[in-house]
Structure 1
Amino acid sequence: MAARDEQVAVHVEGDGVGGIFGERRVGRAEIAASPRKNLSGYARTKHYNTNITIDLAGDEAAGTCSLIAVHLLDPAHPSAHADAGAVYHFRCVRTHTGWLFTHVRAEITWTAGVPLFAGLPPGDPAPSG
């Protein structure tokens, strides 16, 4: 597992479920690899999370947060970028090591600019959905 993947994986419960663009990913390794897989064609990305809500119920929690994401294809052409807005829906559980995500789903609510995934390498299929 790549170093960046490991940074994501430590926040996911062992058999956690993630989803974005209609894809379902199960387990730490699949979920942790998602950003690398989906963002590999971009030179730079910037993701802003805001309006986080969390409802606690003992050792479980559920919540949402809003996301604005900017994806730059080529630093030499900064006006060409793929943008998206989304709402993350998540559930967590408290474990002996702390809070871990058990379910995370991104609901894309809008896009603008260059189509998302325009920067993926040739032959690398864009996520469905």
Structure 2
Amino acid sequence: MIQDLADRTAIVDTVIAYATALDTRDWETLGALFTDDACWEYSGSGERLRGPEAIIARISTSMERFDATHHLNGNHVAAVHGDDAEHTCYYQAQHVRLGLPDGEKFLAGGRYDDRLRRTPDGWRFTHRRIISVWSEGNPAVITS
């Protein structure tokens, strides 16, 4: 029982570390949160990437265009099965690009569906699926 609680807390900490690494542009930390065989997919675009290097290349390229981002996670549910786990949570992600004529902000909400594995370095993502549910604001913030 105590180990289950500790595992669930560590899994949520991994998820929060992902959000923090995005917002601080800490690509080294972000890459270390994935296993070597990890898969990252964005359901809105059908994009599917494998391995930390490809994942970080994609994320860092898109994130560097923003003047600021702010990712919040909530409603965490984690289920541990030995050294493997499933996790889901909601996200809200604010994106800011200053100086755009039709608005400087784009807010998106959705869900992360994750699979994680216990490693010697802690819980790591083996699969992260981003499911976009809603958005508001100027889409040019994220597209141009």
TM-score for both structures, normalised by structure 2: 0.73
The 8 Å contact of residues 95 and 142 in structure 2, kept in 1 or not, is answered as no
1:117 aligns with 2:142: yes
Q: Which residue of the partner structure matches residue 127 of structure 1? A: none
**Superposition CA RMSD, Å:** 2.0
Q: Tell me the distance in 2 between the aligned counterparts of 1:38 and 1:65.
A: 22
The 8 Å contact of residues 59 and 94 in structure 1, kept in 2 or not, is answered as yes
Matches within 5 A, 1:1-129: 4-20=26-42, 21-74=45-98, 80-115=104-139, 117-118=142-143, 120=144
TM-score for both structures, normalised by structure 1: 0.81
Deviation, 1:76, is 8.9
> Percent identity at matched positions?
29
The 8 Å contact of residues 43 and 75 in structure 1, kept in 2 or not, is answered as no
Q: Which has the higher contact order (CA 8 A, sep 6+)?
A: 1
More helix by share: 2
One-letter amino acid of the counterpart of residue 33, structure 2 = H
Which range moves more in the overlay, 36-45 or 58-67? 36-45
One-letter amino acid of the counterpart of residue 70, structure 2 = K
How many residue pairs end up in the alignment? 116
Runs of 4+ residues over 4 Å off in structure 1: none
Q: Structure 1 unaligned runs (5+)?
A: 121-129
